[in-house]
Amino acid sequence: MSKDTIYATAEDADKPFTFNQAVADVFPDMLQRSIPGYAASIEAIGSLAARYVTPGSTCYDLGCSLGAATLAMRFAIKMPGCRIIAVDNAPAMVRRCNEVLAAAENPGATVVEVCHADIRDIEIADASMVVMNYTLQFLGIAARDAIIAKIHAGMLPGGLFLLSEKVVDEDPHMEELLVDLHHEHKRRNDYSQLEISRKRAALENVLVPESVAAHRTRLAQAGFVHSGVWLRYFNFVSIVAIK
Ligand code: GEK
């Protein structure tokens, strides 16, 4: 696994963050060292797929990057006739995702289609499980109600939606503490203070976090009957919602 040193050098340090080839090349290392609880989210996606995916249904991995969530679902699904649609709008991610999927062990019969598309433009239908693992945060806030409503409309009754996000705390004191703990976590994972502050600046207005309450309200307004946080690690959460 190649080490993420993107913000260790001055090159590109002052440009907004994009999902380019350099990011795709170091992506597994970047996520493992940057997102507290990332490995737990992938593990749970497998467990939830085994429980919720129904025969002949479709699963979606929206903002699939290199396909970690797709792989977890593909490995766990035992039901016949299922397919997974993995979507990302970054060409470098889609290219690498196809390579990763082709190289991975595939004990089941679930078919995967990797689509190079904007998740705002795709159709969602017959879905028993939809995953948005740290992707909604990269869409403008104005686009978020519509995509969550589209996901809900394309899901089967009883289907499961997993939404993981970086969040902001309503209490500024708590927010400061959680951001500080996250940065300490990154320093423990061998990012320098300079890399941490450059990445923070590069993500400004690119990754726009909302509160847990805002996410749960949007899910309820879209029509999800149940929703709950199943994972929280500093300012990173994962929510499950059931139609
Ligand atoms: C994982 N889920 O490993 N349409 C399609 N893709 C998009 C869009 C969009 N509008 N906006 C952003 N993306 C993965 C990790 S990363 C999270 C997800 C992170 C894609 C973007 O290209 C990137 O690959 C992904 O969403 C977000 O479980 O880097 O923090």
Specify the length of the chain in residues.
243
Distant-in-sequence, close-in-space partners of 57: CB < 8 Å, separation ≥ 6: 79, 82, 126, 127, 128, 129, 156, 159
pLDDT more than 70, % of the chain: 100
Q: For all residues of the chain together, what is the average pLDDT?
A: 96
Sheet containing 236-242: order of strands: 111-116, 83-88, 58-62, 127-133, 155-166, 236-242, 226-233
What residue has token string 């993995």?
86
What lies within 8 Å, CB to CB, of 95 at 6+ separation is 24
Q: With cut-offs at 50, 70 and 90, classify the pLDDT of residue 106.
A: confident
Element (H, E) at 97: helix 91-103
**Gap from CA of 238 to ligand 1 centroid (Å):** 15
Of 25, 65, 116, the one to substitute when testing ligand 1's pocket (max ligand atoms within 8 A of C-beta) is 65
Q: Which residues line ligand 1 (CB under 6 A)?
A: 19, 31, 63-65, 68-69, 87-90, 93, 118-120, 133-135, 138-139
Per residue in 12-28, pLDDT (tens digit) is 778 899 999 999 999 99
Rounded to the nearest angstrom, the distance between the alpha carbon of 184 and the centre of ligand 1 is 24
- Residue closest by Cα to atom 20 of ligand 1: 63
Collect all residues with Cβ–Cβ distance below 8 Å to 217 and sequence separation of at least 6: none
List CB contacts of 71: < 8 A, sequence separation 6 or more: 100, 101, 104
pLDDT at 176: 97
Confidence grade of residue 9 (pLDDT, cut at 50, 70, 90): confident
Go through the domains of the chain in sequence order and give each one's CATH number.
38-168+208-242 (3.40.50.150)
- 19 Cα: distance to centroid of ligand 1 (angstroms): 8
Ligand 1 atom showing the smallest separation from residue 166 Cα: 30
Q: Please say if the pLDDT value at position 124 is more than 80.
A: yes
pLDDT at res. 13: 76
Q: Which structure tokens are listed for 72?
A: 């977890």
Pocket residue to mutate for ligand 1, from 7, 43, 135, most atoms within 8 A of Cβ:
135
- Pair 16, 205: CB distance under 8 Å: yes
CB distance 130 to 53 below 8 Å = no
Which residue lies with its CA nearest to atom 17 of ligand 1? 134
- Each residue's pLDDT tens digit, 148-195: 999 999 999 999 999 999 999 999 999 999 999 999 999 999 999 999
pLDDT digits (tens, 9 = 90+) for 188-230: 999 999 999 999 999 999 999 999 999 999 999 999 999 999 9
Ligand 1 pocket mutation, candidates 60, 101, 121, 138, criterion most atoms within 8 A of CB: 138
